[in-house]
Chain A
Amino acid sequence: MPRPLHKEFLKGLWEEIPPFRLVLGLCPVLAVTMTVENGIGMGLATTFVLVCSNVLISILRNQIPPKVRIACYILVIATFVTIVDMLMQAFTYPLYQKLGIFIPLIVVNCVVLGRAEAFASKNSVLPSLADGLGIGIGFTLSLAALGALREAFGNGTLLGHSIFGPGYQPLTFLVEAPGAFIGLGILLGLMNLISQRR
């Protein structure tokens, strides 16, 4: 049953927003969201990979033999990740330095492989594009939200600008590893609370 394109796109923003609803791809979510900038950068890199691999895999879906499909998906995804890696080195080097090893690790991000297997391999190009864009933007928004929470309360800044003034005592643990889990838990709880009320 084909659904309209805008629904495929919008589901990624709430209904199936990756880290909170699908609870997939948590490694980069926890590891790089010390700041909003890192979160957005990581999210956009992942979105690029997700959209390109979704489209290509959906074009090739009838050519790929089922027994080696996972190998083919990984190959396609790894190619796009390497392209992103080189492009970021060439044009956004400081951000690349901050994200470091997590850019190559997009290859093993479950969200990307998950969409290839669960969606792009069964749908035509346009819905796969919409799905990739929606899930990617949802992922970016989630990372930005978690990054904002941790940067604002953990460091007293947003995108590097001070927001609470010099008197604010930052909760430094939020920018460290435990803060990532606590922040993610708070956002997950908030989302569940909102959906319950509706």
Chain B
Amino acid sequence: MGEMIRMVVTLAILSAVSGGVLAGVQQWTKDPIERQKLANEKAPVIRQILEGTENDPIADRFTLNDGTRDYLIFPGRVNNEPIMVLEDRAQGYSGDVHVMVGFSLKNDTLVGAGVTTHSETPGIGSRAKDDPSFTRQFKGKKAGAPDSLRLDGGSLDSISGATITARAVVQAVERASSAYLRLKPELESSKREKEE
């Protein structure tokens, strides 16, 4: 009996110390990891959506709150039209799928979308990111109704073998679109401030 208690206590103490140390390291590395992800995973997608913009959308980013959470906004200007890029997420096959979506402030259409961070199955769900032909379909859709997969009654082609991931991307785009519409008044005022 005494041996039993000793085993339980040893394991419990070790686990508790391990948990404490990891929580500390996680706190300490949270900000640098965010910055690295921004520079390595998000920036390429943002630059692709805002191809041809003259400013640096990463440096010009700002934060807006839509009442539920903070959104990072990456502003740009393509063909003299102001574009706002923001990111939202939805539950995929394993963990959240993050999707960056660009909106034209003039007519509320999507100018582009791209998957940034995800943990989907390599070679299957990961094609949502690696093969841009899926996310390219969002171009030109309206922010009010960004469309859904053909098998859900919409007009988008799914990713074969990765319907759950494709649905997650669609849902993330929907969320980003409604966040954009909620934030639109503030986005327009932020744009005006910049021009003045």
- A residues contacting B by CB (< 8 A) are 63-65, 67-68, 71-72, 75-76, 78-79, 82-83, 86-87, 89-91, 93-94, 97
Contact = CB atoms under 8 A, between A and B. Distances in A.
Interface stretch (B24-32, B51-59, B60-68, B157-165): B24-32
B21 A83 contact: yes
A65 B33 contact: no
Contacts of A86: 25-26, 29, 33
Interface stretch (B35-43, B71-79, B136-144): B35-43
A90 B36 contact: yes
B133 interface: no
Nearest to B31: A90
Interface residues of B, number: 19
A12 B22 CA distance: 30
Contacts of A82: 22, 25
Contacts of B33: 86, 89-90
Nearest to A92: B36
Contacts, number: 51
A79 B22 CA distance: 7
Contacts of B7: 65, 67-68
Contact of B22 (A83, A89, A90): A83
A83 B39 CA distance: 22
A89 B29 contact: yes
A195 B124 CA distance: 46
A72 B11 contact: yes
13 contacts: A63-B10, A64-B10, A65-B10, A67-B3, A67-B7, A68-B10, A72-B11, A76-B18, A79-B21, A82-B25, A83-B21, A86-B26, A89-B33
Contacts of A93: 36-37, 39-40
B11 A68 contact: yes
Contact of A91 (B3, B6, B32, B39): B32
B40 A97 contact: yes
Contact of B10 (A72, A79, A83, A87): A72
